Amino acid sequence: MTLLLRNLQKSVTFDLPKLKADINLLRRIVRAERYDLGVICMQDSQVREMNKMYRGKDEATDVLSFPAHESLAPGRLPDPWSDLADLGDIFLGMSYIQQQCEKDGTNVDDVLPVIVTHGLCHLIGYKHDTDERLKQMHKRELDILTEYNKLTDSNLRPMTNGPAEMSN
């Protein structure tokens, strides 16, 4: 179905066609090609306002996800033939992402698939509000990115921490 990809900011330059191709590949990996998806690249001020409004956190962030189906079991896609064949929307805080990349010595174009993977996992029912859910989400992100890495000759790792990192 439809991918709506919008760039509503001008402060961070990135490869929009690559991001679109990466998102479509990630949708294929999670078997979500039949669902509508919105990915919106925004200024930090916009993301900060949304984060404050919906999460009560008055700060910018890298990604906010708003699932169309709130009660999905982790990894379970909604019925694609229902009236609402929509996964939801992912909002990317591009300046925040760029600042993290500068700090980590990474490239925005290389990091965006990792962040979109994290957002997609939230749209398909994964959460990281408990240790058990965090482990579950990390595993799914790792599985998705392992497949992505094979198909793109990349070496991306999940945003969430795995069990070894969590014990520290």
The DSSP string of 7-45 is E---SS---HHHHHHHHHHHHHHTT-TTSEEEEEEE-HH
Higher per-residue pLDDT: 75 or 49: 49
Does the pTM surpass 0.85? The reply is: yes
- Residue that has been written with the tokens 């402060």 in this structure: 11
Cα–Cα distances in Å, from 21 out to 17, 82, 133?
A: 6, 26, 29
- Total domains in the chain come to 1
DSSP annotation of 143 reads: H
**Main-chain dihedrals φ then ψ at residue 18, nearest 5 degrees:** -65, -45
pLDDT at 167: 35
Average pLDDT over residues 109-133: 95
Quote the crossing angle between the two packed helices 94-104 and 44-55, to the nearest 10°: 110
State how far the Cα of 143 lies from the Cα of 121, in Å rounded to an integer: 11
pLDDT the model gives residue 38: 98
DSSP 78: P
> For residue 64, what are the β-bridge partners?
91
pLDDT-based confidence at 166, cuts 50/70/90? Answer: very low
Which CATH number goes with the domain that contains 52?
3.40.390.30
| CB neighbours of residue 83 within 10 Å | 6
Q: What token pair was written down for 102?
A: 């500068």
35 is in which domain, residue-wise?
3-166
